[in-house]
């Protein structure tokens, strides 16, 4: 069982780190067209919006459940994947996400006041940081503890 848990926690860490980073990196390039009014969206924008929603939901769900929400796992394995160290790491991840959102909100507010970005962009960036930052912080903690 524990060998399987080792494999699963490594996979969870990799998914959360790479997926979280990619989610933030793609915001100014791929998802920037979502800030236009919905009435002007083309089919490709609806696909982007769907992928944005699905990706966000997956990141939140993986972090919230301890990973692999749709995979059939024994109760013991699921419990070990979400043990008290994992829960503590998740708590630290959420705290880091809170502070990242606070700092981002201040920066985005200043940028919006100077008309560098629109309120819609501000909200999207804040949401993306709120989704991705706890996942990245959680993965970083898991990596450090993997000694």
Partner 1 sequence: MADGELVCRLREARTEAGLTQLELAERVGVSRKTINTVENGVFIPSTLLALKLARALGKSVEDLFGLSD
Measured at the alpha carbon of residue 105, what is the angle toward residues 102 and 107, in degrees to the nearest 5?
Answer: 110
Report if residue 4 touches partner 1, rule: CB under 8 A. no
Binding partner 1 (rule: CB under 8 A), the pick from 51, 83, 118, 120 is 83
Report if residue 85 touches partner 1, rule: CB under 8 A. yes
Measured at the alpha carbon of residue 129, what is the angle toward residues 25 and 44, in degrees to the nearest 5?
Answer: 55
Q: Collapsing DSSP states into helix, strand and coil, what is residue 68?
A: coil
User: Which stretch, 1-9, 42-50, 98-106, 109-117, contacts partner 1 (CB under 8 A)?
Assistant: 1-9
What backbone torsions phi and psi does residue 127 show, to the nearest 5 degrees?
-60, -45
Report if residue 63 touches partner 1, rule: CB under 8 A. no
Report if residue 84 touches partner 1, rule: CB under 8 A. yes
Query: Where on the phi/psi map is residue 64: left (φ > 0), alpha (ψ -120 to 50), or beta?
Result: alpha
Report if residue 145 touches partner 1, rule: CB under 8 A. yes
Binding partner 1 (rule: CB under 8 A), the pick from 20, 131, 140, 142 is 142
- In angstroms, the Cα distances linking 20 to 4, 68, 107 are 24, 16, 21
Site residues (vs partner 1, CB under 8 A): 1-3, 5-6, 9, 76, 79-81, 83-86, 88, 142, 145-147
């Amino acid at each position: 069982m524990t060998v399987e848990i080792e494999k699963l926690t490594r996979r969870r860490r990799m998914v959360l780190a790479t997926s979280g980073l990619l989610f933030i990196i793609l915001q100014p390039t791929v998802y920037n067209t979502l800030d236009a009014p919905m009435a002007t969206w083309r089919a490709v924008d609806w696909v982007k919006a769907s992928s944005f929603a699905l990706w966000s939901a997956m990141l939140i769900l993986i972090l919230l459940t301890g990973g692999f929400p749709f995979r059939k796992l024994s109760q013991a394995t699921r419990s070990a994947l979400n043990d008290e160290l994992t829960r503590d790491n998740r708590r630290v991840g959420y705290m880091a996400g809170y502070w990242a959102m606070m700092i981002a909100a201040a920066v985005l507010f200043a940028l919006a006041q100077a008309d560098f970005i629109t309120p819609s962009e501000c909200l999207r960036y804040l949401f993306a940081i709120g989704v991705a930052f706890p996942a990245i912080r959680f993965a970083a903690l898991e990596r450090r503890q993997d000694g």
